[in-house]
């Protein structure tokens, strides 16, 4: 590598600089510069060419919008209904999917399981840059994967991979992982920004030109984002995050980008010794083992795409022994917690500034929806005053800075899910039922205008 020039490149915007910088002057990201070397100019025959996703014969010409036709995307079921839900109904032919997650979360297990279903009708090529063929065979045996129409290739050179793909002619290609693949025409180490971008582009070109579906596994860095260039997420058709704690059995797949479906759906799995099992009713799973007659506990119904989920919010408010009280959250945005605490202090006079506050959402679920505000406030009030919230009560609503309760979307769907799971009382925003009467068999609807009514209601239960 004599004569090559060393430089630093921003992993967020690919800004180049001859020396390391703490903050990128272009995008403003901190600690985003990684060392790389100037690549040698590749020969014209080895330069990857970008293939258009729109078939063309000759020069491209402008087409009237009314003349365009909506394509009928062909989909293939993966064998896991929860994964198909996140993908928008199945794996689209010719699409490129990026699957990312923490080490040991179950990415390779998930991909090996879907190989068994995809292999019934399509030919699958599994490219492993991290494990040997024997290791993959051992995992497949443990998962009960028969391996029909499944081909294994343990290779990290992109040129050799594409040559072998021409021979096998697979319908689905799985790459585990993109950070281990390198191109001989790029003079930098595997996993560098340049290598990841060039090898991913080669796989995308292969998928678009041959109508082949590609699933790439991406590593994550210490911040939890996908390692490599940020442009990698823009290049692919779908980006899926595999979330969960390795110490817990439950896993969640979430789509943050999907050109062929919604980005609001989630898939829930349970890790077992036989692999990942689908959880078709996540609400029952999230409420399993819920403590009875304990203060600081409140249920809430949130929407993940078209699926209502009932989660459990736990709050612990205890006198502080420090000059500045501690604030800790798990599954709830920290700034949202601070906002709710400020509203309760100002409007209700509760002295949270003298107490440590700990918040937790059971099951590893993350609640980002404002409709969880009332439930969060009730859990904080319950723990602060040591008043018990009834186990069959659920709270739904968004809080404003004045303490008012604002309307939320799809309230009827949320209430029906609560009634199905045995809840008998639902606290809902008054504005949701002001114009339309909400009725649901087996559940008592209590409309509220603000957080003051919640405090009065809890006082009556003493």
pLDDT number for residue 195:
87
Half-sphere exposure of 374 (CA within 13 A, CB side): 32
pTM of the predicted protein model: 0.72
Q: Calculate mean pLDDT across residues 302-306.
A: 81
Decide if 45 is inside a domain: no
Average pLDDT of span 262-285: 84
How far is Cα 413 from Cα 432, in angstroms, rounded to an integer?
12
Q: What is the pLDDT of residue 6?
A: 79
d(CA 342, CA 323): 18
Residues 273 and 291 in one domain: no
61 inside domain: no
pLDDT of residue 251: 86
Distances (CA, A) of 237 to 26, 117, 230, 242, 409: 26, 22, 14, 17, 29
Residue 291 above 90 pLDDT?
no
In a domain, 58, yes or no: no
Summarised one tens digit per residue, pLDDT across range 214-253 is 999 988 877 667 776 778 888 999 999 988 766 677 888 9
Which pLDDT tens digit goes with each residue over 107-131? Answer: 989 999 999 888 888 899 999 988 8
Average pLDDT (154-171) is 93
Residue 55 within any structural domain of the chain? no
Report pLDDT digits (tens) over 185-217.
887 778 888 888 889 999 999 998 888 999 999
The domain boundary, picked from 254, 280, 306, lies at: 280
| Mean pLDDT calculated for residue range 154-180 | 92
Res 342 pLDDT > 80: yes
Q: Could you tell me if 88 and 161 lie in one domain?
A: yes
341 and 312 share a domain? Answer: yes
- Whether 229 and 248 share a structural domain: yes
The mean-pLDDT minimum among 77-81, 107-111, 401-405, 452-456 falls in 452-456
- Please give the full DSSP string across 193-223, using - where no structure is assigned: HHHHHHHHHHHHHHHHHHT-EEEEEE-B-TT
Q: Are residues 433 and 399 in the same domain?
A: yes
User: Is the residue at 403 inside a domain?
Assistant: yes
Note the pLDDT of residue 19. 84
**pLDDT category of residue 71 using cuts at 50, 70 and 90:** low
The answer, yes or no, to whether residue 54 has pLDDT greater than 50, is: no
Q: Domain count of the chain?
A: 3
Q: Note the Cα 332 to chain centre separation in Å.
A: 15
Q: Reduced to 3 states, what is the DSSP secondary structure of residue 281?
A: coil
**If you average pLDDT over every residue of the chain, what do you get?**
85
Mean pLDDT of 408-419: 89
From the CB of residue 73, how many other CB atoms can be counted at a distance below 10 Å?
15
Instruction: Average the pLDDT over 128-154 and give the result.
Output: 89
- Range 429-434 average pLDDT: 85
Mean of pLDDT values over 275-279: 87
* CATH number of the domain residue 183 falls in: 3.40.50.300
Beta strands in 109-212, from DSSP E residues, in sequence order: 124-128, 150-153, 172-176
Residue 46 lies in a domain: no
Query: Do 128 and 273 belong to one domain?
Result: yes
* Percentage of the chain lying above the pLDDT 90 cut: 37
Is the pLDDT at 56 greater than 60? The verdict is no
Q: In this predicted structure, what is the pLDDT of residue 70?
A: 66
Same domain, 201 and 127: yes
Owning domain of residue 207 = 74-280
The reply to whether 347 and 231 lie within a common domain is: no
Query: Is it true that the peptide bond before 390 is cis, omega within 30 degrees of 0?
Result: no
Residue 317 included in any domain: yes
CB count, 10 Å around CB of 133?
12
374 shares its domain with 265: no
Which among 246, 280, 314 is the end of a domain? 280
Q: Is residue 42 part of a domain?
A: no
Final residue in a domain of this structure, among 237, 256, 280? 280
How far apart are the C-alpha atoms of 339 and 152, rounded to whole Å? Answer: 52
Domain check: are 135 and 233 in the same one?
yes
pLDDT score of 372 more than 90: yes
| Whole-number pLDDT of residue 435 | 62
Average pLDDT for 265-286: 85
Cα(276)–Cα(270) distance, rounded to whole angstroms?
6
Question: Biggest alpha carbon distance in the chain?
Answer: 80
How far is the C-alpha of 289 from the C-alpha of 18, rounded, in Å? 56
Average pLDDT over residues 448-454: 88
Question: Rounded to whole angstroms, how far apart are CA atoms 462 and 459?
Answer: 6
The answer on 30 and 82 residing in a single domain is no
Q: What is the DSSP letter of 51?
A: P
Q: Residue 380 belongs to a domain with what CATH number?
A: 3.30.230.10
Do 289 and 276 belong to one domain?
A: no
């Amino acid at each position: 590598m004599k004569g090559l020039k060393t430089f630093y490149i921003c992993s967020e915007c690919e800004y180049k600089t001859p020396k390391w910088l703490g903050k990128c002057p272009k995008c403003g990201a901190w600690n985003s510069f990684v060392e790389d070397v100037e690549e040698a100019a590749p020969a014209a025959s080895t330069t990857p060419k970008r293939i258009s996703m729109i078939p063309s014969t000759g020069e491209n010409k402008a087409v009237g919008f009314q003349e365009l036709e909506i394509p009928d995307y062909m989909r293939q079921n993966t064998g896991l209904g929860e994964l198909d839900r996140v993908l928008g109904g199945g794996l689209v032919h010719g699409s490129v999917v990026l699957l990312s997650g923490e080490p040991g979360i179950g990415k390779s297990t998930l991909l090996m399981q879907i190989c068994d279903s995809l292999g019934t009708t399509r030919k699958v090529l599994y490219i492993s840059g991290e494990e040997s063929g024997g290791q993959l065979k051992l995992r497949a045996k443990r998962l009960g994967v028969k391996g029909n129409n499944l081909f294994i290739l343990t290779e990290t050179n992109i040129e050799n991979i594409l040559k072998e793909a021409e021979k096998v002619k697979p319908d689905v290609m799985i790459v585990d992982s993109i950070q281990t693949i390198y191109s001989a025409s790029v003079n930098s180490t595997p996993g560098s920004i340049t290598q990841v971008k060039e090898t991913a582009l080669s796989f995308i070109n292969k998928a678009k030109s041959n109508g082949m579906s590609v699933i790439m596994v991406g590593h994550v860095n210490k911040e939890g984002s996908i390692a490599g260039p940020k442009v990698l997420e823009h290049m692919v058709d779908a980006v899926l995050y595999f979330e969960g704690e390795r110490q817990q059995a439950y896993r969640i797949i979430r789509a943050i980008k999907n050109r062929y479906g919604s980005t609001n759906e989630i898939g829930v799995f349970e890790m077992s010794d036989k692999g990942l099992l689908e959880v078709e009713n996540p609400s029952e799973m999230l409420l399993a083992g819920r403590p009875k007659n304990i203060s600081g506990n409140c249920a809430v119904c949130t929407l993940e795409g078209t699926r209502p989920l009932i989660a459990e919010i736990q709050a612990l408010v205890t006198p502080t022994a420090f000059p500045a009280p501690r604030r800790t959250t798990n599954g709830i945005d920290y700034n949202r917690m601070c906002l709710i605490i400020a509203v309760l202090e100002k409007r209700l006079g509760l002295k949270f500034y003298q107490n440590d506050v700990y918040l937790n959402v059971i099951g590893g679920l993350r609640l980002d929806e404002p409709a969880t505000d009332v439930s969060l406030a009730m859990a904080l009030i319950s723990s602060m005053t040591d008043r018990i919230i009834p186990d069959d009560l659920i709270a739904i609503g968004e809080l404003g800075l004045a303490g008012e309760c604002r309307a939320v979307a799809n309230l009827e769907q949320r209430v029906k899910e609560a009634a199905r799971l045995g809840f008998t009382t639902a606290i809902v925003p008054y504005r949701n039922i002001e114009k339309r009467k909400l009725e649901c068999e087996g559940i008592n609807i209590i409309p509220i205008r603000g957080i003051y009514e919640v405090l009065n209601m809890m006082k009556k239960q003493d």
